[in-house]
Each structure stands twice: as structure tokens, then as C-alpha cells.
Structure 1
Amino acid sequence: MSENHKKVECSNHGLRNNAFVCQHLVTSEFTGFWESFDSDPTKIYSNDELNAWCDECDKILLEQGEWNDISEAFAGIKLICDVCFFEMKELNSGSSNYNSK
């Protein structure tokens, strides 16, 4: 891992690698778990590689055709740690809303 690999201090998991999710996954406001690739919790990902969003964000993303000011404003991306990311993924994978692109 490179020296400039960014870390985040998580109140639950300590100093960890970073990940980014929509605000709705953090607050459990909407369900579903979308990501640009099927991530694996046994691997270490480089900075900014772990990203996920909920069903409602995916609808806006499809309407907009890309991440832009509108879709990003709706998503309200939040920084979390990689352990929290995979916990969110696991919580959503048991539902019919789990999806990966």
C-alpha cells in the first residue's frame, strides 16, 4: 500500500481505509446497495475505489445518465470506513434490493 493511501478514523473500527456511500445508506433512509463492481471484503482497495448508493440514488443516476450536480446533490456522498461499507453491503445483500453493476 502506498504511503499516501488515505485513511479515515471510524468511531467503531478505528483507523481504516476509506469508502464512500450515499447519505441514504448511512441513515438507512432507503434500501438497496449499488456499486460499480462487485467488491470483496477480503481485498484491499485503493483510495476512492469503494463506492455505493441506494435504490433511490440509482433511479436519479439512471434519469440523469451520469453522476452530475443533480445526482450528486441527491446522493449527498459521505465518507465512511471500509468495514462499515462491507457491513452495509451485507445488510442489504439479504434483501431483494441487493444489486451490483
Structure 2
Amino acid sequence: MIDNDLAERERTKYVDCENHDRRRRAFICQHLKEGSKNGFEESFETFEDMEFEYEDDDFVAWCNECEKVRVEEGSLDGKCWEQGEFKIVCEKCYFKIKESNIENLI
């Protein structure tokens, strides 16, 4: 049985994308775009359509500059999150950005 809290948590895990319909949400810093050469750092290794180990997991990625701040601060929260001006994209957009950034680094 699904209660209202569970239904609301599940609803907010998805976003409507103009290119990919309704997909799971993902977070990226403002510096990451498809084809940018700004690096691609993640909280953990991800792949498309993966099942998360923990309920609170999300796709989250940031660039090399934000990584420097994260390491300096010891956390993604706070200064890194503010500087990165993280935005929500859909899972498909996230992986297109990931693939294009990884290809540009090779």
C-alpha cells in the first residue's frame, strides 16, 4: 500500500523534460553542458536505468572547478552547491552530458 508521503517522494523524483518526456531527476552544476570540456565528477559511478542502492540517492554531477571547492570544503553542500548553482535535468539529459564530457576528456 502506498501512503501519501511515499507517493509525494516518488512524484518529486521525476521531472518532465521537453526532450525526453517524464524521467527520473538528476542534478548537475551550471558549468556542465553537452559537449563542454569541464570534467564530470559524480558522487558514485552511475549508468543509465540503474537501480539506486538507497532510497535517497540521486544522480548528481559537477565540473572540475566545483570539485576543487568540494575537496577544499570537504562537502558538496554549502559553498560548492552555491557556486555550482545546481539545476535539475532528466536522467537522459544527464547521461548525454556525461557521455559527451567523458569523450572530450579522452
Is TM > 0.5 for Structure 1 vs Structure 2? yes
CA–CA distance in structure 2, aligned partners of residues 20 and 90 of structure 1: 15
Of 65-74 and 51-60, deviating more is 65-74
Contact 2:36 2:101 (C-alpha < 8 Å) held by counterparts: no
2:16 matched residue in structure 1? 9
Distance 1:41 1:95, change over 3 A: same
Which of 52, 60, 74 is the aligned partner of 1:65?
A: 74
Alpha-carbon distance between aligned partners in 1 of 2:25 and 2:57, rounded to the nearest angstrom: 7
| C-alpha distance in 2 between matches for 1:56 and 1:30 | 11
Instruction: Select 2:27's aligned residue among 9, 20, 24.
Output: 20
Return the letter of the residue paired with 1:81.
Answer: C
Which moved further from structure 2: 84-93 or 36-45? 36-45
Structure 1: gaps spanning 5 or more residues: none
Query: Where do 5+ consecutive residues of structure 2 fail to align?
Result: 1-5
Q: TM-score, normalised by structure 2?
A: 0.76
Distance 1:89 1:50 in 2: 11
User: In structure 2, what is the equivalent of residue 55 of structure 1?
Assistant: 64
Report sequence identity in percent. Answer: 34
2:3 corresponds in structure 1 to: none
RMSD: 2.3
Equivalent position SS for 2:47: coil
User: How far apart are 1:41 and its partner, in Å?
Assistant: 1.1
